[in-house]
């Protein structure tokens, strides 16, 4: 499954409609997600919930994306849309999902 | 579903049962849970078998709410357990059990409920505290401490969730005659009641009255509050 187009793109569409700071978010790998040019911290929390729900609906896997592991990485998985896509793929792999 | 969807934990018996029946009578769709099966039957009631501290058992309740009801309006975090014992005789297994149900369970339901409620930009969460905390009841160290944690959770979550239109409050009953307090000796209970400004047992209706106030749409400026019954401060 292509995470960027199948999970993040529809989540971004939903976020643009309902999260004020997400108006400029785009389903492009280099689009900033959090911080400069991206969403604010409450926007990120709400966006992560949207992504987790879409992953659950698509794969039946319940991921916790904002884990201590994710938060303590030197290079944040939430810095760009592409970084998040890679991180989701990694988490799904770790859960043994191979769809 | 004008009256909304209300989730009551620990709805099988005691206060939780009375709360569930009250909101059913008011026309809410009520979702309840407990570890044992419930005999409450109503077209607007759905019961889940779940230990509130068991994440794997709890998640399906919220998936159901999201898919079948499009969200959640009210959460009453009622499930709770107590244990009366001298601190020097209290096993750690009791500490684990009480903190699991009262603190972990309350947090888990707050977390999952808030995730649903934030989408609509509104929601009401009511937690259950107890007068055992301010009265510093001997023999209830772990129970009182667990509910002090619930009070603290209520206050911090109220701030975290305020920007999302969700209020978080709590109600602290005095003793209400349910199974929870059945094993407390009479002399102990009389001494306890005597410390209240109004020295009588509480009724489920006393607790429900406060919950009604917190759930009221007009209470959207009321959050982080805890109301003790019976004149305990
Ligand atoms: N009664 C009082 O005097 C009093 C005073 C102050 C505060 N409170 C608070 O009010 C709340 C309700 O107490 P109550 O008097 O109604 O107690 P109760 O009669 O003992 O009922 C407790 C309810 O919670 C459920 N429950 C317990 N542990 C659970 C768990 N781990 N997961 C899911 N459900 C669980 C029980 O069902 P299962 O056994 O089937 O799980 C039952 O439905 C508690 O939070 C309590 O601390 C009560």
- Which residue in A85, A81, A89 sits closest to A15, CA to CA? A81
Q: Is the dihedral of CA A32, A10, B7, B164 positive or negative?
A: positive
| pLDDT score of A35 | 87
Q: What whole-number distance in Å separates Cα of residue B107 and Cα of residue B219?
A: 22
In which band, very low, low, confident or very high, does the pLDDT at B3 lie, cut at 50, 70 and 90?
confident
Radius of gyration for the alpha carbons in chain A, expressed in angstroms and rounded: 12
Indicate the top mutation candidate among B7, B11, B16 to test ligand 1's pocket, ranked by most ligand atoms within 8 A of CB: B16
Question: What is this structure's pTM?
Answer: 0.96
- Mean pLDDT, chain B, rounded, equals 97
What's the pLDDT band for B32 if we cut at 50, 70, 90? very high
* Superfamily of structural domain B5-228: NAD(P)-binding Rossmann-like Domain (3.40.50.720)
In degrees and rounded to multiples of 5, residue B37 shows phi and psi of -65, 150
pLDDT for res B1:
37
Q: Using CB atoms within 10 A of its CB, is residue B163 exposed (0-12), middle (13-18) or buried (19+)?
A: exposed
Cβ within 8 Å, pair A49-B118: yes
The three-point CA angle B193-B198-B200 to 5° equals 50
Which domains are seen in chain A, by residue range?
3-94 (1.10.1200)
The reply to whether B111 touches chain A by the CB within 8 Å rule is no
Does residue B143 have an active-site annotation?
yes
Mean pLDDT on A56-74: 92
Q: Which residues line ligand 1 (CB under 6 A)?
A: B 9-16, 33-36, 51-53, 78-82, 101, 105, 128, 130, 173, 175-176, 178-181
Cβ separation of A49 and B163 shorter than 8 Å?
no
Q: Can you tell me the mean pLDDT for B115-139? A: 97
């Amino acid at each position: 499954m292509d995470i960027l187009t199948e999970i993040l793109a529809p989540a971004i569409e939903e976020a643009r409609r309902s999260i004020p700071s997400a108006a400029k978010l785009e389903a492009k790998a280099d689009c900033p997600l959090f911080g400069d040019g991206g969403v604010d911290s409450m926007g990120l929390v709400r966006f992560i919930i949207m992504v987790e729900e879409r992953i659950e609906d698509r794969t039946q896997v319940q991921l916790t994306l904002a884990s201590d592991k994710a938060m303590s990485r030197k290079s944040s998985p939430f810095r760009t849309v592409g970084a998040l896509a890679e991180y989701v793929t990694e988490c799904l792999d770790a859960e043994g999902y191979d769809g | 579903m004008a009256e909304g969807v209300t989730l009551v934990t620990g709805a099988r018996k005691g206060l939780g049962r009375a709360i569930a029946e009250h909101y059913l009578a008011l026309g809410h769709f009520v979702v309840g849970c407990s570890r044992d099966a419930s005999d409450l039957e109503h077209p607007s009631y759905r019961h889940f078998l779940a230990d509130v501290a068991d994440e794997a058992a709890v998640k399906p309740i919220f998936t159901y709410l999201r898919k079948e009801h499009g969200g959640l309006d009210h959460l009453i975090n009622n499930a709770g357990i107590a244990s009366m014992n001298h601190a020097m005789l209290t096993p750690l297994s009791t500490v684990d059990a009480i903190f699991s149900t009262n603190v972990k369970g309350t947090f888990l339901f707050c977390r999952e409920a808030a995730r649903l409620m934030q989408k609509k930009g509104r929601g009401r969460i009511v937690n259950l505290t107890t007068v055992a905390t301010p009265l510093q009841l001997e023999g209830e160290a772990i129970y009182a401490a667990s509910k002090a944690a619930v009070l603290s959770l209520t206050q911090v979550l109220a701030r975290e969730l305020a920007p999302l239109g969700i209020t978080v409050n709590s109600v602290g009953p005095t003793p209400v005659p349910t199974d929870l307090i059945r094993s407390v000796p009479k002399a102990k209970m009389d001494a306890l009641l005597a410390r209240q400004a109004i020295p009588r047992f509480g009724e489920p209706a006393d607790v429900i009255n406060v919950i009604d106030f917190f759930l009221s749409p007009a209470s959207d400026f009321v959050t982080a509050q805890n109301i003790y019954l019976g004149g305990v401060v």
